[in-house]
């Protein structure tokens, strides 16, 4: 059970979510609702659902719904003309149910609802308003029922190759395949943020580009800078008043700033919306780096944007894998991508000879498969090393593009496979460390020594 201190923190974050949502959710915000529900005694009970609210229009063509007397699965995209409609959507979710197409889907059980928020993390690099509502375990589903659900989905329009396929598309947990309780997640994107692809530090000047929702009150924005090296306080400053704002165009408004930072090798930029953090982001002057590997990358990957996009924005798994390979190279690992398809995505080596097998994924639906592959391939390599009378310790890393609050996995599986889990937050932190020389051996050792490493998702997502 969470400690009393944890309970108080999560209660505070719930209060903060409710207080902040009106400053974040503006008229015209887009809503993306994804859900999987199972029918029991004529009622639809949610196994998983996620409500995304964003200032940016979601990709088109993603709407569908499959409804039978057994299951209700779908995705709906919409926006509202009244703030009260957004309030009702969130209020319903906090009460444990959602209504889509006049159809009510509820969390199972009679116990009190419980809450968790990723906003309780102090070390966040980027932040959305987040709230997770859960209650109880889902009633057991028999294998025969799961097979029936799979075949219903294969015959549906559009067709899906069973629960695994549709859960992967929706980025939700599938019924019967997880240990955590059913939940409704609410994620609210910020109404203002940096346009990272247009920001850089070069020759003592920091170039920043921002974008806001058209209805955002720019007086709520605070932009702060901390430059390195910071031998005195002169390179710590508020620079909100240096932003030049363009006229509103459609749903957005852009702003630009050019800030003099004499002698700066790096700059930490912080974006605040009122009293809430939106983003902390390091920008590094590549011409002043001591990391020769970073120089090599930047020679052929201008401003690191190709790598950044490959890691943080792509929806293509092969591109994501290449981005991770680039990052690991810059962090000091020797990296190889094997030709054989029946092999890890990447094999890494450290200067001291540690060997690491690595798998990467954009979604959580194939976690069990990825963990199983890592376990088998680590054992196969360890056995080969034993036969060669070499040290047979092999490490494994599972990299996921999603933030920790969206990753649901079984802690026991991670423990058995002794796998290091790197989520989106870890990747952001790693990219922020690229400018300096890194020690891959220390990276692996510290990851292994942290008792909670790779387990924070399952163990910290316990409810109030």
Residue 457: per-residue pLDDT: 27
Among 252, 287, 322, give the residue marking a domain's end: 287
Same domain, residue pair 447 and 412 = yes
Tell me the pLDDT tens digit for each residue of 123-143: 778 888 889 998 877 778 888
Same domain, residue pair 46 and 145 = yes
Mean pLDDT confidence for 61-76: 91
Residue 138: per-residue pLDDT: 74
Q: Inform me whether the pLDDT recorded for 456 exceeds 50.
A: no
Same domain, residue pair 46 and 147 = yes
Q: What is the CATH number of the domain that holds 253?
A: 2.60.40.10
- Per the structure block, which two tokens stand in for 386? 């034993």
Which range in 202-211, 309-318, 382-391 is most confidently predicted, on average pLDDT? 202-211
Residue 178: per-residue pLDDT: 54
Q: Inform me whether the pLDDT recorded for 375 exceeds 90.
A: no
Residue 46: per-residue pLDDT: 94
How sure is the predictor about 428, in pLDDT bands with cuts at 50, 70 and 90?
confident
Same domain, residue pair 362 and 226 = no
Mean pLDDT of the chain: 84
Q: What is the DSSP letter of 137?
A: P
* Residue ranges of E strands in 17-70: 30-40, 43-54, 64-67
Residue 451: per-residue pLDDT: 34
User: Of 27-31, 359-363, 416-420, which range is least confident?
Assistant: 416-420
What total number of domains does the chain contain? 3
Q: Inform me whether the pLDDT recorded for 84 exceeds 70.
A: yes
Higher pLDDT, 362 or 305: 362
Q: Inform me whether the pLDDT recorded for 464 exceeds 70.
A: no
Residue 284: per-residue pLDDT: 80
Same domain, residue pair 260 and 358 = no
Q: Which domain holds residue 88?
A: 4-188
How sure is the predictor about 269, in pLDDT bands with cuts at 50, 70 and 90?
very high
How sure is the predictor about 453, in pLDDT bands with cuts at 50, 70 and 90?
very low
Among 188, 206, 236, give the residue marking a domain's end: 188
Residue 4: per-residue pLDDT: 63
Same domain, residue pair 98 and 215 = no
Mean pLDDT confidence for 351-374: 84
Who's near 32: CB < 8 A, 6+ residues apart? Answer: 51, 52, 53, 54, 58, 62, 75, 76, 77
Same domain, residue pair 25 and 145 = yes
- Per the structure block, which two tokens stand in for 164? 């695994």
Look at strands 183-188 and 43-54 and give their pairing: parallel
Burial class (CB within 10 angstroms; exposed 0-12, middle 13-18, buried 19+) of 146: middle
Q: Inform me whether the pLDDT recorded for 285 exceeds 90.
A: no
Tell me the pLDDT tens digit for each residue of 1-42: 455 666 676 677 778 888 888 889 999 899 999 999 999 989
User: Which residue is associated with the tokens 């952001």?
Assistant: 428
Residue 216: per-residue pLDDT: 93
Same domain, residue pair 351 and 378 = yes
How sure is the predictor about 345, in pLDDT bands with cuts at 50, 70 and 90?
very high
Residue 309: per-residue pLDDT: 83
Mean pLDDT confidence for 73-102: 93
Q: Inform me whether the pLDDT recorded for 68 exceeds 50.
A: yes
Q: Inform me whether the pLDDT recorded for 255 exceeds 80.
A: yes
Q: What is the DSSP letter of 192?
A: E
The answer to whether 153 and 174 have CB atoms below 8 angstroms apart is no
Mean pLDDT confidence for 192-210: 91
How sure is the predictor about 335, in pLDDT bands with cuts at 50, 70 and 90?
very high
Who's near 432: CB < 8 A, 6+ residues apart? Answer: 125, 281, 282
Residue 290: per-residue pLDDT: 67
Same domain, residue pair 72 and 166 = yes
The C-alpha atoms of residue 443 and residue 287 are separated, in whole angstroms, by 25
- Per the structure block, which two tokens stand in for 229? 């090296």
Among 164, 188, 212, give the residue marking a domain's end: 188
Residue 458: per-residue pLDDT: 27
Mean pLDDT confidence for 79-96: 93
Q: Inform me whether the pLDDT recorded for 235 exceeds 70.
A: yes
Percent of the chain with pLDDT over 90: 40
Who's near 145: CB < 8 A, 6+ residues apart? Answer: 70
Residue 125: per-residue pLDDT: 82
Q: Inform me whether the pLDDT recorded for 462 exceeds 60.
A: no
Buried b (16+ CB within 10 A) or exposed e, 156-193: beeebebbbbbbbbbbbbbbbbbebbbbbbbbbbbbbb
Same domain, residue pair 208 and 117 = no
Same domain, residue pair 389 and 240 = no
Q: Inform me whether the pLDDT recorded for 409 exceeds 60.
A: no
Residue 463: per-residue pLDDT: 25
Same domain, residue pair 354 and 225 = no
3-state secondary structure of 71: strand
Residue 96: per-residue pLDDT: 93
Q: What is the CATH number of the domain that holds 330?
A: 3.40.91.30
């Amino acid at each position: 059970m969470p400690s009393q201190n944890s309970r108080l923190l999560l209660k505070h974050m719930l209060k903060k979510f409710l207080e902040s949502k009106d400053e974040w959710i503006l008229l015209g915000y887009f809503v993306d609702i994804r859900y999987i529900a199972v029918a029991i005694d004529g009622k639809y009970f949610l196994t998983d659902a996620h409500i995304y609210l964003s200032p940016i229009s979601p990709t088109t063509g993603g709407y569908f719904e499959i409804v039978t007397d057994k299951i209700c699965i779908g995705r709906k995209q919409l926006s509202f003309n009244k703030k009260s409609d957004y309030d009702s959507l969130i209020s319903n979710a906090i009460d444990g149910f959602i209504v889509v197409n006049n159809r009510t889907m509820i969390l199972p059980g009679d116990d009190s609802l419980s809450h968790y928020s990723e906003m309780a993390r102090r070390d966040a690099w980027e932040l959305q308003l987040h709230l997770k509502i859960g209650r109880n375990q889902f009633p057991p589903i028999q294998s025969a029922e799961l097979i029936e659900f799979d075949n219903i989905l294969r015959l549906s329009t559009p067709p899906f190759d069973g629960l695994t396929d549709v859960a992967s598309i929706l980025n939700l947990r599938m019924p019967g395949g997880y240990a955590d309780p059913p939940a409704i997640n609410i994620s609210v994107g910020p109404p203002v943020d940096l346009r990272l692809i247009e920001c850089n530090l070069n020759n003592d000047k920091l170039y920043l580009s921002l974008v806001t929702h058209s209805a955002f009150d720019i007086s709520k924005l605070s932009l702060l800078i901390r430059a390195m090296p910071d031998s005195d306080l002169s390179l710590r400053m508020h620079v909100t008043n240096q932003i030049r704002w363009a006229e509103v165009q459609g749903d957005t408004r852009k702003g630009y700033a050019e800030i003099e930072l004499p002698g700066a090798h790096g700059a930490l930029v912080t974006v605040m919306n009122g009293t809430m953090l939106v983003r902390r982001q390091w920008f590094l002057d590549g011409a002043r780096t001591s990391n020769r590997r970073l120089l090599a990358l930047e020679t052929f990957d201008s401003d690191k944007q190709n790598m950044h996009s490959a890691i943080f924005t792509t929806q293509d798994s092969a591109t994501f894998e290449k981005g991770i390979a680039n990052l690991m190279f810059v962090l000091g690992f020797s990296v190889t991508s094997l030709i054989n398809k029946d092999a890890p995505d990447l094999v890494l080596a450290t200067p001291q000879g540690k060997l690491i097998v690595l798998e990467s994924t954009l979604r959580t639906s194939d976690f069990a498969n990825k963990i199983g592959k890592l376990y088998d391939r680590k054992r196969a390599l360890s056995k080969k090393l034993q036969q060669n009378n070499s040290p047979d310790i092999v490490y494994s890393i599972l990299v996921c593009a999603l933030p920790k609050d969206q990753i649901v996995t079984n802690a026991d599986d991670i423990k058995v496979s002794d796998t290091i889990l790197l989520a989106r937050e870890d990747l952001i932190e790693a990219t922020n460390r690229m400018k300096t020389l890194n020690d891959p051996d220390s990276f692996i050792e510290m990851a292994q020594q942290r008792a909670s490493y790779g387990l924070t998702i399952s163990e910290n997502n316990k409810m109030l």
